[in-house]
Amino acid sequence: MRQQELKRNPSGSVHGGGLPDLVGSLGWKGTGILILMMIIGFIVYAVFLR
């Protein structure tokens, strides 16, 4: 249903699409890499910026 809305109104995803649209556009590999980068970034932050 959301996919059909995006096809009719592509600019609608820019206004408050949020995380589901980001995940949908990246696919599962992109989402996994994004989550991994966030975890690694947090670990680096925790270790170096105490």
What's the confidence (pLDDT) of residue 29? 85
Q: Which residues of 12-49 are buried (b: 16+ CB within 10 A; e: fewer)?
A: ebeeeeeeeeeeeeeeeeeeeeeeeeeeeeeeeeeeee
Q: How many domains does the chain have?
A: 1
Q: Within its chain, how far is the Cα of 46 from the centroid?
A: 22
Domain of 27 in residue numbering reads as: 2-48
- Note the pLDDT tens digit of each residue in 1-48: 555 555 555 555 455 567 777 677 778 888 889 899 999 999 999 998
46/34 Cα distance (integer angstroms): 18
What's the confidence (pLDDT) of residue 13? 47
What's the confidence (pLDDT) of residue 1? 59
What's the confidence (pLDDT) of residue 43? 96
- What is the chain's length? 50
